[in-house]
Amino acid sequence: MRWRSRLNRELKPLFSFRTYLNDLTTLGVGGPAECLARPLTQRDMEILLAFCREEGTPFWLLGGGSNVLVPDEGLPGITILTSGLNGVFWEETGDAVTVYSESGTLLASLLGLSLRRGWTGLEFAAGIPGTLGGALAGNAGAEGLSLGDLVRSVKVIQDDGNVRDRSRGEIDFSYRFSSLGLEGVAITGCRLVLKKSNPSEIAEKVRGFLSNRKGQPRGVKTAGCIFKNPEGSSAGKLLDEAGCKGLECGNAVVSMKHANFIENRGSASTKDILSLIDRCRTRVVQNSGVYLATEIRFLGNSLNAKIPN
Ligand SMILES: Cc1cc2nc3c(=O)[nH]c(=O)nc-3n(C[C@H](O)[C@H](O)[C@H](O)COP(=O)(O)OP(=O)(O)OC[C@H]3O[C@@H](n4cnc5c(N)ncnc54)[C@H](O)[C@@H]3O)c2cc1C
C-alpha cells in the first residue's frame, strides 16, 4: 500500500503497525489499528494530518480511550494517539488563572495541578478518566457542570490543514455535546479560565464529587455511562426499571451496581457490547417509550453503520 511505504520513509519514529487497541481503551475491547501514530508535538500532528489528507488515508483520534468503542476488526488507516501532546502552561493574574494545555493531557493531571496551585473550577472532573481533547470533543462533565463552561478558546487543526484558535463563542457546548466533536476537527490544545481559591475548599469539593460516584462500578473495565440522560430523566433509572441490570452477552454484562454501565468481565468483544446496547435500548423503548441516545462514541465506519447514535 503506497501510503504505508511513504510513512515508513518519512515519519518512521512516530508510528507502529497492527497495535491492538483493546489495551488503549478502558473497556478493553477493540481490534488492531492498521497504523498507530503517537505525535509528540503540534508540528507532528500537523504533519500527520497533512499526510492523511494528501494520501486520502482515514484517521481516528484517540485520547484516553475512556468513551469509545472500537470495532473488533480494528481501525483502517491511522489511529492518532494524543497522549504525547501533554504540555501545560499557565498565567496567574490576581485571582484569575489562564491555563493553556495540550489536548493529550489527562484531566486528572490538570485537576492535580489545580489542587496543588489552589485553582478552582475543575473539581467536577474528579473521577473522569481520559484526556482534555476527549473531554472537549464530548463536553465531559458531572452534576450539571462541564468543561465547556471553563473554555476560553480551543486550538484545532481543520480539515483543510489550517490551524485555528476557536474562541468560546464559536463553539456550541451543551449536555455531553460539543460542535468540535461533531465536526471531527483535531483538537490540539485549549485555554481554560480558572480562579485562585482556598486549597482546602477545593480539596473538599473534590472529595464531594468523588463521594457522589460511590454508586458507580469501580475497578472494572467500563467506558462510563453508555447512554445520555434524556431531558428531565435519568438513563440509569430507565434502564434499571426496564430490568437491564445483570443482562449479559458473552463476557459483557450490564453492571448490577449502575444500569448505565456495561462491564467487560474479561474477554468481551465489541460485538458483545453492541448487542447489549441494542437489547438495553429495546427494553427501555418497550418499557417507557424513551429512545436512549448513546454517550459512548463509535470509531470506525463499520460500527457507525451498525448502531445509530
Ligand atoms: C469510570 C468512568 C467514569 C466516567 N465518568 C464520566 C463523567 O462523569 N462524565 C463524563 O462526561 N464522562 C465520563 N466518562 C467518559 C469519559 O471518561 C469522558 O467522556 C472523557 O472525557 C473521554 O476522554 P478520552 O480522552 O478518554 O476520549 P476518547 O475515549 O479517547 O475519545 C472520545 C471521543 O473524542 C474524540 N477525541 C479524542 N481526542 C480528541 C482530540 N484531541 N481531538 C478531537 N477529537 C478527539 C475521539 O475521536 C472520540 O470520538 C467516564 C468514563 C469512565 C471509564
138 C-beta closer than 6 A to ligand 1: yes
Mutate which of 59, 67, 158 to test ligand 1's pocket (most atoms within 8 Å of Cβ)?
Answer: 67
CB 203 within 8 A of CB 211: no
Q: Which SS3 state, helix, strand or coil, does residue 27 take?
A: coil
Mutate which of 85, 128, 146 to test ligand 1's pocket (most atoms within 8 Å of Cβ)?
Answer: 128
Give pLDDT, residue 309: 60
129 C-beta closer than 6 A to ligand 1: yes
Give pLDDT, residue 174: 96
Atom 33 in ligand 1: residue holding the nearest Cα: 134
Mutate which of 38, 40, 66 to test ligand 1's pocket (most atoms within 8 Å of Cβ)?
Answer: 66
30 C-beta closer than 6 A to ligand 1: no
CA of 9 to the centre of ligand 1 (A): 33
The whole-chain average pLDDT of the chain stands at 94
CA of 195 to the centre of ligand 1 (A): 24
Q: Are strands 119-120 and 96-102 parallel, antiparallel or unpaired?
A: unpaired
Q: What does the pLDDT average to over 55-63?
A: 96
Q: Is the pLDDT of residue 49 over 70?
A: yes
285 C-beta closer than 6 A to ligand 1: no
pLDDT digits (tens, 9 = 90+) for 4-26: 888 777 776 678 899 999 999 99
What's 235-306's CATH class?
alpha beta
82 C-beta closer than 6 A to ligand 1: yes
The Cα 162–Cα 223 span in angstroms is 32
CB 79 within 8 A of CB 35: yes
Give pLDDT, residue 14: 78
pLDDT digits (tens, 9 = 90+) for 198-210: 999 999 999 999 9
Q: What is the pTM assigned to this prediction?
A: 0.96
The hierarchical CATH code for the domain 2-84 is 3.30.43.10
The Cα 210–Cα 10 span in angstroms is 46
45 C-beta closer than 6 A to ligand 1: no
Count how many residues are written for the chain: 309
pLDDT digits (tens, 9 = 90+) for 26-37: 999 999 999 999
The domain defined by 88-211 folds into 3.30.465
Q: What are phi and psi of 256, to 5 degrees?
A: -75, -15
Q: What does the pLDDT average to over 221-229?
A: 97
CA of 135 to the centre of ligand 1 (A): 5
In angstroms, the Cα distances linking 44 to 10, 40, 101, 103, 157 are: 12, 6, 17, 13, 12
- Under the banding of pLDDT at 50, 70 and 90, the label for residue 307 is low
Q: Are strands 297-298 and 68-69 parallel, antiparallel or unpaired?
A: parallel
Report the atom number in ligand 1 closest to the C-alpha of 60: 47
C-alpha cell at 13: 519514529
Domain boundaries, given as residue ranges, for the chain:
2-84, 88-211, 235-306
